[in-house]
Amino acid sequence: MLYKTLNNGVEMPQLGFGVYKVDEEDVVESTLKAIESGYRAIDTAQYYHNERGVGEAIKASGIPHEDLFITSKVWNSHQGYNKTLQAFEESMEKLGLDRLDLYLVHWPAPEHDLYIETYEALEKLYKDGRVRAIGVSNFEIEHLKRLLDTCEIPPVVNQIECHPYLQQHEIKAFCKEKDIFVESWGPLRRGGSIFEEDTIKRLAQKYEKTPAQIILRWHIQENAIVIPKSVTPSRIKENINIFDFTLTNDDMADIRLLDRNERMGKHPNEMNIME
Ligand code: NAD
């Protein structure tokens, strides 16, 4: 497993296990499978309603927390300084941890204009030693600029939708300049037609890998942190087995041509739901 050194010196695995839309029951088994398969980072959130299951899996794995890297996120409904502190305590109780590795503001929800205040609560948790690193998710450049102008502790990552159909080169360049890692969510675009792209199929043949492995390897070589999700044991293993080959510059350039600025999720400026 490759690790990336975040801008505060903390080491984060470059590939982790995402658990969005995995219910509290299934999440125990699939997270355990992931840890057994070598994953050391788990990406959950208050909104996923499965933190208790993730916590159970961590305990059952027998791997000490120091060797794992657990991320959670505060949901829009808990934006604001005090509500965020409360959401954090609830997440920690469910996860059964006393210290989190990474805590993120899930969406900027700009209509409500609370993300700066919300991030101040993350800074307090960081200063208090409750969390080893803090960051944001779904932040556009305009949100990042505003945050960087006011914050004391810069975010270590910006977790955004990113895959070959939405390559996010502008945000990536901005984040690189500011020493913030891009973390790709929906890295496989949840499967389907993207696996049928000629370029992806050709590279899968060339390297004797699957389309999913080619796409995940592309994220790694784009210097992104990546958190694919699966509940299927064989795919959980497949998705981490990407560290034994390297795409050439030409292969990377060919995948770059697939960009069509096409999202699965909402644009962050339109994601203002609070419930
Ligand atoms: P993903 O791109 O990881 O796709 C997951 C789906 O792809 C699986 O359900 C399965 O259908 C398919 N798949 C996975 N591995 C496969 C394989 N090897 N072969 C064939 N099909 C395969 O999408 P995601 O779950 O939305 O994103 C990953 C993680 O990112 C989430 O679980 C969550 O932790 C995080 N996330 C964050 C946000 C955010 O707003 N910050 C939003 C969505 C997801």
> Which residue of 158, 163, 185, 196 sits with most ligand 1 atoms within 8 Å of its CB, as the best mutation to test the pocket?
185
Residue 275's pLDDT is what?
Answer: 82
Structural tokens at position 187? 């890295």
Taking a C-beta distance cutoff of 8 angstroms, is the pair 12, 102 a contact? yes
Sign of torsion, CA 243 21 270 70?
negative
**Residue 273 — pLDDT band, cuts 50, 70, 90?**
confident
Average pLDDT estimate for 54-62: 97
Ligand 1 centre distance from Cα of residue 127 (Å): 32
Closest C-alpha to 231, from 91, 37, 45, 92: 37
Rounded-to-integer distance, Cα 65 and Cα 42, Å: 11
**Residues facing residue 13 across a β-bridge:** 3
**Residue 42 — pLDDT band, cuts 50, 70, 90?**
very high
pLDDT tens for each residue of 189-240: 999 899 999 999 999 999 999 999 999 999 999 999 999 999 999 999 999 9
Taking a C-beta distance cutoff of 8 angstroms, is the pair 28, 57 a contact? yes
**pLDDT over 90 (residue 247):** yes
**pLDDT over 80 (residue 81):** yes
* Contacts for 192 with CB less than 8 Å, ≥ 6 apart: none
Taking a C-beta distance cutoff of 8 angstroms, is the pair 246, 221 a contact? yes
Residue type, 155: P
Would strands 3-5 and 17-18 be described as parallel, antiparallel, or unpaired? unpaired
Ligand 1 centre distance from Cα of residue 82 (Å): 31
- Whether 48 is catalytic is yes
Residue 1's pLDDT is what?
Answer: 77
Residue 25's pLDDT is what?
Answer: 86
Question: For residue 42, what is the enclosing H or E element?
Answer: strand 41-43
SS3 for 89? helix
Residue 131's pLDDT is what?
Answer: 98
The DSSP letter of residue 186 is: S
Rounded-to-integer distance, Cα 143 and Cα 166, Å: 19
Q: Which atom of ligand 1 is nearest to the CA of 137?
A: 41
Residue 274's pLDDT is what?
Answer: 84
Largest alpha-carbon pair distance within the chain? 53
Ligand 1 centre distance from Cα of residue 229 (Å): 4
Average pLDDT estimate for 70-99: 98
Angle ∠(273,121,149) on CA atoms, nearest 5: 90
Average pLDDT estimate for 80-86: 98
pLDDT tens for each residue of 256-271: 999 999 999 999 999 9
**pLDDT over 90 (residue 185):** yes
Rounded-to-integer distance, Cα 239 and Cα 195, Å: 14
Task: Tell me, using a 6 A CB cutoff, whether residue 230 lines ligand 1.
Answer: yes
More confident residue, 275 or 95: 95
**pLDDT over 90 (residue 137):** yes
Structural tokens at position 185? 């969510």
**pLDDT over 80 (residue 157):** yes
**pLDDT over 90 (residue 111):** yes
Of all protein residues, whose CA lies closest to atom 14 belonging to ligand 1? 230
Residue 57's pLDDT is what?
Answer: 97
Residue type, 233: P
Task: Tell me, using a 6 A CB cutoff, whether residue 43 lines ligand 1.
Answer: yes
* Contacts for 64 with CB less than 8 Å, ≥ 6 apart: none
